[in-house]
């Protein structure tokens, strides 16, 4: 899976925006103004994704390509080495979960705006 596949998947979701607020090496996807995916474009492709706290430890334990979220809250975020992670279907489901978790955390007005 490459960054263009990931980008297309993210941008096909409702109310998603992309930007590079941290420089040319990090692509950020947001829903309702809140980050749900950060892609490191410098070197091997890696993604920071939000996860349920109980899932973070499980993902790290069961997948050597997954580590605690780089520069993120380690309780809620994981970093996935995309080039080593071979299960594309699982990765897409984790992106979906990240999107839904962030969207669910928005206030009611912002969440409703995402559903239009």
Over residues 69-105, the pLDDT tens digits come to 888 888 999 999 999 998 999 999 999 999 999 999 9
The predicted structure's pLDDT at residue 37:
97
The predicted structure's pLDDT at residue 12:
96
Nearest-angstrom CA–CA distance, 52 and 50? 7
Instruction: Judge if pTM exceeds 0.75.
Output: yes
Listing from the earlier edge strand, what are the strands of the sheet with 34-40? 16-19, 26-31, 34-40, 46-50, 77-81, 66-68
Contacts of 68 (CB under 8 A, 6+ apart): 56, 60, 74, 77, 78, 79
Averaged pLDDT of the chain: 93
Other beta carbons less than 10 A from residue 11's beta carbon: 11
What is the full DSSP assignment across 10-65?
A: HHTSTTEEEE-TT-TTEEEEEETTEEEEEEE-SSS-EEEEE--HHHHHHHHHH-TT
Cβ 52 vs Cβ 101: under 8 Å = yes
Between 3.30.160.20, 3.90.1150.30, 1.20.1290.10, 3.40.190.10, what CATH number should domain 3-109 receive? 3.90.1150.30
């Amino acid at each position: 899976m490459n960054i263009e596949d990931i980008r297309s998947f993210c941008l096909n979701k409702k109310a998603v925006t992309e930007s590079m607020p941290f420089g040319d090496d990090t692509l950020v996807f947001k829903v309702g103004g809140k980050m749900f995916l950060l892609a490191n474009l410098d070197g091997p492709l890696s993604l920071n994704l939000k996860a349920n706290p109980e899932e973070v430890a499980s993902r790290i334990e069961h997948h050597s390509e997954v580590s605690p979220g780089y520069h993120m809250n380690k309780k809620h975020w994981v970093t996935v080495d995309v080039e080593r992670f071979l299960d594309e279907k699982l990765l897409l489901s984790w992106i979906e979960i990240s999107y839904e978790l962030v969207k669910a955390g928005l206030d009611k007005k912002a969440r409703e705006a995402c559903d239009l």
